[in-house]
Structure 1
């Protein structure tokens, strides 16, 4: 049995490597073939999970025991780590083709390197001025697209720092800058693996569960492949929650602060900590996080920063729309009633609904218990996504990661079905397929409701306390 499982693990790795190579050789508009390959990768991923679960029971040795000792005495976990790392390194010099955001990352990095505040200058204006301080400026400007070049950057300071480091290390080479960004993102996933194992052990859960994130083709493609920094944000938030659970609150403060300085979204977790910390400690915690965030923004601070950054962030609520669920239903009703798109109004109301739901989760659920707190993180981000006007695939990273530590698996399904949103890029007009969006959300919501209400008595959430380690 052990030999068969080991051979199957090896075969899945070879098949996955070939499939990733095939996937990144396809054009973004070739949606049918992309979906086929993504489906095959997901089936291989499910195979990994089956073998990992079975291998835990059989004490499977994928590597020599001395290698296994490097990974908490479990060579199966070492095998999962090395295979995930290898699959990521295979993409090291790949140029992303499902997303063009990385061109703006490099642009912002060179802006900062040359002493320009990246929050104050539009790429369109820089090009029109004829300034030559950005290497490959015309190419980067044309490649990032009109949507990016015509708006001020909305990436927080810590993200800008990573952009600048990658641009500095990459020099005049776009590919070298891409490779350095990819190295940072891979290192973030390695850190997630390490802290994920720590947290699973703390919760008394099987360590192989980290494979649900680490070997998931969603994370490998969207983070390593497409160079999205949600993985780095997810690491900071995971480390913050881990340190909170082991009663190291100052480390927790720093990491959640770093997360907010990278992508802002971890701020949604702060209300969830109120019951865990109690009022006085929570107040000190929030003030400390605020200080970290303010210090991060301080080098860029000006009235122009406030005006332009807030306007840029606001676009995601009042102008942009993609792969939404609740919003699209409301928009359709709005068209029938008013005859025009009511995004300007709805885009202001839906975030308030999200805030109310998160506050409800914060006060009603018993978040002082670790697994309930972790599931509350999942539910909060899930709520945010369901009520968003824009849901790109990589937005799923945090709820997918935190679902690993709970009994809920609906995010795994969504990490597959959200790929249907890429069908929009198969047409020249980038028209979304309403049927695909309906399938994506109906399946996920069905499993979510089933797990939330029908499995409550079968798989109760743990309410055990964690002692200081």
Structure 2
């Protein structure tokens, strides 16, 4: 039995490795081919998690005891860790082809290491001025696209420091900078693997559930492959919540502040902590997080920065639209009534619904209970995405990660169906398919409703768990 399980895991890993290599050799305009491979990867992923579940029950060892015991005394987890690491390092020198954001990352990094505040200069203006301090400037400028080159950067300070580190270590080589960014993001996934196991054990859940994130094709492709920094944000937020549950407030504050300095979105989690911390302690926690965030921004702050940053962030809500759900329905109704696209109005109103729902979740749910708090984080980010005008695939990272600590699995379905949104890149006009978007969201909503029905006994009836202090 053990030999068959070991052989099955080995074969599944080899086939997955081949498919990942094939996936990143195909241009994003070849949507049908990419979709087929993506579905196959998810099929293998589902089979792999099933085999791992069987292996866990059989106490299968994938590594010798002297190695495996370093992974929380569980050799199987050590094997899972190495499988995920192998699949990621196979992509180490691949140039992302599903996203061109990394060109702007490298650009901003070189701006910073050369002493220029990246928030104050448009790439278009830098090119027009004839500046020579950015290696491969013309290529980076052309490759990042007109949309990025004509906007001020909207990546927060800690993200900029990572860009600068990759640019400095990579030197004049774009590929070397890509490799260093990928190394940073792989290390973030390693951190998620470690903290994920700690949190699962804290909640009394099976450690193998970490595979639902760690071996998920979505995370390997979007984070490691396409160099999106939501994975780093997810690490900081996960570590912050873990240390909060362990009553280690200083560590939690530092990780929470770092998450906000990387992507801003962890701000949505702060109201959810009110019942866990109680009012006075929550105020102190918020103030300390604010100190960390202000300290991070102080390295770049100026009135021009505030103006440029606010304008860039505002565009995401009032100008850009991609893979929306509720927003697209609102836009359709608005167009029927007014005869024009109402994105500027809808982009201002829909976030208010998100804010209102998060406030309700903060006060109505018993977030002092760890599993309820974690599910509230998942639901809050899910709400944010459902009301957003723009939902790129990598935006799913946080709710997907936190879903593995709950009984809800609809985010796993979405991590698969989200790839249908890439159809827009298969045509020169970037036109989305209403049919494919309908399939994407209908399948997610069906699973969402099933999850709610299946877990209709509310977690509010769950008793708080005792949090041991020595994990």
Task: Provide TM-score, normalisation by structure 1.
Answer: 0.99
Equivalent pair of 2:323/2:392 in contact (CA under 8 Å): yes
Inter-partner Cα distance in structure 1 for 2:239 and 2:410: 23
Inter-partner Cα distance in structure 1 for 2:466 and 2:196: 16
Match of 1:106 in 2: 106
Equivalent pair of 2:372/2:459 in contact (CA under 8 Å): no
Tell me the alpha carbon deviations over residues 67-115 of structure 1, each in whole angstroms, 9 at most, x when there is no partner: 2111111111011100000000000000000000000000000000111
Inter-partner Cα distance in structure 2 for 1:461 and 1:129: 64
3-state SS of paired residue (1:348): helix
Match of 1:295 in 2: 295
> How far apart are 1:458 and its partner, in Å?
9.4
**How many pairs align?**
469
3-state SS of paired residue (2:314): helix
Tell me the alpha carbon deviations over residues 103-138 of structure 1, each in whole angstroms, 9 at most, x when there is no partner: 000000000011111001000000011111110000
Equivalent pair of 2:378/2:403 in contact (CA under 8 Å): yes
Inter-partner Cα distance in structure 2 for 1:246 and 1:196: 14
Match of 2:309 in 1: 309
Tell me the alpha carbon deviations over residues 354-383 of structure 1, each in whole angstroms, 9 at most, x when there is no partner: 000000000000000000000000000000
Are 2:464 and 1:453 equivalent residues in the alignment?
no
3-state SS of paired residue (2:298): helix
Inter-partner Cα distance in structure 1 for 2:97 and 2:306: 33
Tell me the alpha carbon deviations over residues 230-279 of structure 1, each in whole angstroms, 9 at most, x when there is no partner: 00000000000000000001110110000000000000000000000000
Tell me the alpha carbon deviations over residues 29-62 of structure 1, each in whole angstroms, 9 at most, x when there is no partner: 0000000000110011101110111111111112
Inter-partner Cα distance in structure 1 for 2:164 and 2:218: 27
> How far apart are 1:188 and its partner, in Å?
0.2
Q: Which runs of 5+ in 1 are unaligned?
A: none
Match of 2:220 in 1: 220
Residues 71-220 of structure 1: pairs in structure 2 closer than 5 A = 71-220=71-220
Inter-partner Cα distance in structure 2 for 1:52 and 1:213: 14
3-state SS of paired residue (1:300): coil
> How far apart are 1:199 and its partner, in Å?
0.5
3-state SS of paired residue (1:299): coil
Inter-partner Cα distance in structure 1 for 2:66 and 2:423: 46
Match of 2:350 in 1: 350
Tell me the alpha carbon deviations over residues 126-159 of structure 1, each in whole angstroms, 9 at most, x when there is no partner: 0011111110000000000001000000000000
Are 2:386 and 1:383 equivalent residues in the alignment?
no
> How far apart are 1:467 and its partner, in Å?
2.5
Inter-partner Cα distance in structure 1 for 2:462 and 2:65: 33
Equivalent pair of 1:245/1:466 in contact (CA under 8 Å): no
Equivalent pair of 1:358/1:380 in contact (CA under 8 Å): yes
Residues 313-332 of structure 1: pairs in structure 2 closer than 5 A = 313-332=313-332
Match of 1:30 in 2: 30
Tell me the alpha carbon deviations over residues 14-35 of structure 1, each in whole angstroms, 9 at most, x when there is no partner: 0000000110010000000000
Match of 1:429 in 2: 429
Equivalent pair of 1:100/1:143 in contact (CA under 8 Å): yes
C-alpha distance 211-136 of structure 1, shift in aligned 2 (>3 A): same
Inter-partner Cα distance in structure 1 for 2:277 and 2:180: 38
> How far apart are 1:191 and its partner, in Å?
0.4
Tell me the alpha carbon deviations over residues 291-336 of structure 1, each in whole angstroms, 9 at most, x when there is no partner: 1000000011111011100110111100000000000001011111
> How far apart are 1:468 and its partner, in Å?
4.0
Q: Which runs of 5+ in 2 are unaligned?
A: none
> How far apart are 1:453 and its partner, in Å?
3.2
C-alpha distance 434-274 of structure 1, shift in aligned 2 (>3 A): same
> How far apart are 1:456 and its partner, in Å?
1.9
Equivalent pair of 1:407/1:461 in contact (CA under 8 Å): no
Tell me the alpha carbon deviations over residues 200-243 of structure 1, each in whole angstroms, 9 at most, x when there is no partner: 11111110000000000000000000000000000000000000
Match of 1:40 in 2: 40
3-state SS of paired residue (2:227): coil
Inter-partner Cα distance in structure 2 for 1:12 and 1:451: 29
> How far apart are 1:462 and its partner, in Å?
4.1
3-state SS of paired residue (2:424): helix
C-alpha distance 50-193 of structure 1, shift in aligned 2 (>3 A): same
Inter-partner Cα distance in structure 1 for 2:17 and 2:260: 34
3-state SS of paired residue (2:299): helix
What is the CA RMSD across the aligned residues, in angstroms? 1.1
C-alpha distance 353-103 of structure 1, shift in aligned 2 (>3 A): same
Equivalent pair of 1:320/1:389 in contact (CA under 8 Å): yes
